[in-house]
Amino acid sequence: MNRTLTLAAAALALFAAGTVSAHQGAKGVVKQRMDAMKDTSERMKSMRASIDRGKERNAESLAADAEQIAVHAAEISKMFPEGSTSEVSEAKPEIWQENAEFLDLADMMARRAARVAEMARVGTEDATLQAAFAELGESCKSCHTKFRMKKQ
Ligand code: HEC
């Protein structure tokens, strides 16, 4: 195959992957952070369900989920190296143009997740825990609104 044909085939393969699922087309650090965000989101769902059980909540798994989210948050600074966009990535260029603000939001997410973990461990009353969990959810939204584009 000549070079032009090879490139065309590669472009087609990329296009096909992108239409199936963002994750299948993602590679390297883009795939890593998508997986970390996905894990974060799954943990948020199980935390929501656990918190809604009130006194019956599983404090240990709630705290463990929140702690893992804090770990993901702490890794955000490494998972968005300058210019790491791709066909399938939803990362906006603002991440690097306004990097201090982006990293502040990652810090906020880490602190709020750690706070939820702490509250789960000490058995903080429901209303306070609910509020702390809602604040953690707000930190996702404030970053996504400014720094993530919605594809598809
Ligand atoms: C500091 C900014 C920031 C914070 C805080 C943040 N995210 Fe994200 N998130 C992003 C960016 C940027 C992307 C797009 C990454 C890409 O496609 O390269 C993303 C993508 C995602 C995705 C899509 C992953 C995929 O499959 O493509 C999910 C789900 C997600 N985030 C969930 C969360 C949840 C839940 C929280 C809060 C607990 C959170 N995020 C906090 C910046 C953030």
> Does the Cβ of 26 fall within 6 Å of ligand 1?
no
The better pLDDT of the pair 30, 3 is held by 30
Model pLDDT, residue 9: 55
- Cα–Cα distance for residue pair 120/117, rounded to 1 Å: 5
Spell out the long-range contacts of 85-89 with Cβ–Cβ below 8 A and sequence spacing 24 or more: 85/30, 86/25, 86/26, 86/27, 86/30, 87/14, 87/18, 87/25, 88/17, 88/18, 88/22, 88/25, 88/26, 88/30, 88/151, 89/26, 89/30, 89/34
Alpha carbon of 62 to ligand 1 centroid (Å)? 20
Model pLDDT, residue 21: 56
Residue nearest to atom 8 of ligand 1 (CA): 37
The better pLDDT of the pair 7, 123 is held by 123
- In this predicted model, what pLDDT tens digit does every residue of 13-60 receive, in sequence order? 544 444 445 566 889 999 999 999 999 999 999 999 999 998 899 999
* Torsion (CA) 123, 126, 132, 137 in degrees, nearest 10: 120
- Cα–Cα distance for residue pair 10/128, rounded to 1 Å: 53
Mean pLDDT estimate for the chain:
89
Model pLDDT, residue 92: 97
For the cut 70, the answer to whether the pLDDT of residue 133 exceeds it is yes
Given a contact cutoff of 8 angstroms between Cβ atoms, the answer to whether 25 and 11 are in contact is no
- End-to-end, the C-alpha distance of the chain in Å comes to 33
Alpha carbon of 9 to ligand 1 centroid (Å)? 31
For the cut 80, the answer to whether the pLDDT of residue 151 exceeds it is no
For the cut 70, the answer to whether the pLDDT of residue 7 exceeds it is no
Radius of gyration for the chain, computed over Cα atoms and rounded to the nearest angstrom: 19
Model pLDDT, residue 152: 58
Residue given tokens 């209303």 in the structure block: 127
Residue 3 banded pLDDT, cuts 50, 70, 90:
low
CA of residue 101 relative to chain centroid, distance? 16
Model pLDDT, residue 20: 45
Alpha carbon of 147 to ligand 1 centroid (Å)? 9
